[in-house]
Structure 1
Amino acid sequence: MKTVRQNYEQVQTKIRQACARAGRNPQEVQVVAVTKYVDLETTKETLDAGILHIGESKVQDGIPKWKELGDRGTWHFIGHLQRKKSKDVVGRFRYLHSLDRLSLADELERRLEVIGDELNVFIQVNISGEETKYGISPKELEDFVQAMSKYKFIKPIGLMTMAPHTENQSLIREIFQELKYRQVQIQNTVLPTLSELSMGMSQDYEIAVEEGATFVRLGSTLTGGRP
């Protein structure tokens, strides 16, 4: 079995190759190691391998790891977040990849104001239209981004989406291309600082990089856990 460090070296090679195909700088792409299905020791191994970004999607699993290793790396909450769990995310996680409703934004803002902290957020967009996926619809995006202007402590930095689990690479590419199109559109007309794209997981991150991803979320191909 390969170590996390060996997996990371392989991932970096594939990212460099994808960037070369797309005419991009590999330094534009950040790897978020998804540790939600691995234990504390593997999470420590991940940080030891030089990976700077750690991604968790369940509060009850992520907090114990953060308490042990939170002073190392940058922590991302990548899963669907319930309002009542907001108190556990603020002050610990620097990024949220799944903002999909204003009621959650209101709760996060209230708690961030109390502690005087900020949170970088990706707005989750359900590009594929799958009922099993969270996220706002593309047609809601502009109004949603405009509503972000009232928040002081929430910092919208980009968009996030998840592609369907399919062997159809053309469909996956179309999903990522659409998110990139939406991001550029919003950046040019509504919010110039909305410059990041969180898209691509273990099964499709090379396509995502080719289509403009700046953050890829990797589980099984990197830490050995599920995507």
Structure 2
Amino acid sequence: MGTISEAWYAARAAVPDHVTLIAVSKTKPLEAVVEAYQAGARLFGENRVQELVSKHEALTAQDAPDPDRFAELRWHQIGTLQRNKVKYIAPFVDLIHAVDQPGLLAEIDKRAAANGRCIEVLLQLHIAEEQSKFGLNPAELEVLVGEVDQGHFPHIRVGGLMGMASFTDDTRQVGREFAGLRRLFEQHGPDRDWTTLSMGMSGDWKIAVEEGSNMVRIGSAIFGAR
């Protein structure tokens, strides 16, 4: 693998222009984020809240030589999020990807209000055959979006859906799982102005895009293996 910059250029060239590319920098050093940013990346995804906060604070410290240098950088929380950790990212996070519980949605709403913000989230669906994956089932989605529609979470904007396919070499299975999520997006999204269907990572993003994804999360193909 070449430099992070070269890998970013290659990824951005490969991913269609209409698809938002999230550079997943989890477990990678701050220097890797800086290099990707200098190459043109602006949206970064992190799994762990502690790591996300640490990197954000390091890049926005007022005693830095140029604290406005990373003004265009946006952080996405892409991993499973515990309710007691929401308060740490609520002041600055741009998008929370994996919301699959009403209680978590309520906590995000509470912390968004406390910070005078409206935080955008994606609702996570369980689309994989693997039981280890998280997410709502279609019936739970129906209930949760009903609560959102009724105005129970005024400081949250649901931007769309996300999901992770099974980790398998069976591309047909992966395609079926992504297609199922797309159908749910098409069923619930138009009346709610949803704009984001996030599915696909380094190993399966091409299949995801074929099935309608307009946001992909790519880590190892940009930053190298973890």
Tell me the distance in 1 between the aligned counterparts of 2:130 and 2:95: 24
Q: Give the fraction of aligned pairs with identical amino acids, expressed as a percent.
A: 34
| Structure 2 runs not aligned, ≥5 long | 61-70
If the length of structure 1 is used for normalisation, what is the TM-score?
A: 0.90
Amino acid aligned to 1:159 = L
Which secondary structure does the structure 1 equivalent of 2:189 belong to?
Answer: helix
If the length of structure 2 is used for normalisation, what is the TM-score?
A: 0.90
The C-alpha deviation readout for 1:157-182, integer Å capped at 9, x for no partner, is 11000011100000111111111110
Tell me the distance in 1 between the aligned counterparts of 2:225 and 2:44: 13
TM-superposed deviation, 1:129:
4.4
Tell me the residue number matched to 1:217: 217
TM-superposed deviation, 1:213:
1.1
Tell me the distance in 2 between the aligned counterparts of 1:130 and 1:6: 34
The C-alpha deviation readout for 1:55-81, integer Å capped at 9, x for no partner, is 001011111111122534111000000
Tell me the distance in 2 between the aligned counterparts of 1:109 and 1:192: 18
Tell me the residue number matched to 2:24: 34
Does the 8 Å contact 1:158/1:195 carry over to 2?
yes
Which secondary structure does the structure 2 equivalent of 1:202 belong to?
Answer: coil
C-alpha distance 100-109 of structure 1, shift in aligned 2 (>3 A): same
Give the superposed CA RMSD.
1.4
Tell me the distance in 2 between the aligned counterparts of 1:90 and 1:129: 32
1:67-146 aligned at under 5 Å gives the runs 67-69=57-59, 71-146=71-146
TM-superposed deviation, 1:225:
4.3
Tell me the distance in 1 between the aligned counterparts of 2:89 and 2:130: 27
Tell me the residue number matched to 1:22: none
Tell me the distance in 2 between the aligned counterparts of 1:37 and 1:111: 26
| Structure 1 runs not aligned, ≥5 long | 16-25
Tell me the distance in 1 between the aligned counterparts of 2:19 and 2:201: 13
Kindly report structure 1 stretches of 4+ aligned residues shifted beyond 4 Å.
none
TM-superposed deviation, 1:147:
1.2
Amino acid aligned to 1:206 = K
Does the 8 Å contact 2:9/2:39 carry over to 1?
no
1:168-179 aligned at under 5 Å gives the runs 168-179=170-181
Tell me the residue number matched to 1:6: 6
